[in-house]
Amino acid sequence: MKKYIVSSGVMFLLPVVAFAAADTSKGLGKIIRIFSDLINILVPVVISLAVLFFLYGLAMYIWKVGEEKESGKDMMIWGIIGLFVMVSIWGLVNLLGDTLGLDENINIVNPIEQIPSSI
């Protein structure tokens, strides 16, 4: 029963999601565009924070002794892992977009707007 409710909800909302990309000036398309712009701003900020995290760990490793030196080493390792993951995913998304020929600046015409209003 639960799967029928979910599938009918998906079928009902699918046209809304499909037409959301058609007109980014209003409705769900505007929300998606704002979310996309926010992510494009946050990616370089998060990468810079990961670099600062790595550099802080490096400074702790150089200037501290004993237990704090090990925590600096751990911070450097996690900083490198974080940078690798973030840059890899960012690169894969861009590679996938280029491979599929996706372009942010393409304007898609909403088919519903093409229907004459006199019908």
Residue 19's closest CA among 2, 8, 37, 32? 32
- Tell me: the pLDDT tens digits for 66-90? 777 888 889 899 999 999 998 898 8
Domain ranges of the chain: 2-103
Q: How far is CA 51 from the centre of its chain?
A: 19
Burial 19-32 (b: 16+ CB within 10 A, else e): bbeebbeeeebeee
Long-range contacts from 23-26, C-beta under 8 angstroms, 24+ separation: 23/110, 23/113
Give the pLDDT mean for 88-113: 74
Q: Is the pTM of this model over 0.85?
A: no
Q: What is the pLDDT of residue 84?
A: 92
pLDDT at 21 over 70: no
Angle at CA of residue 19, ends 41 and 100, nearest 5°: 60
Contact status, residue 21 vs residue 114, Cβ threshold 8 Å: no
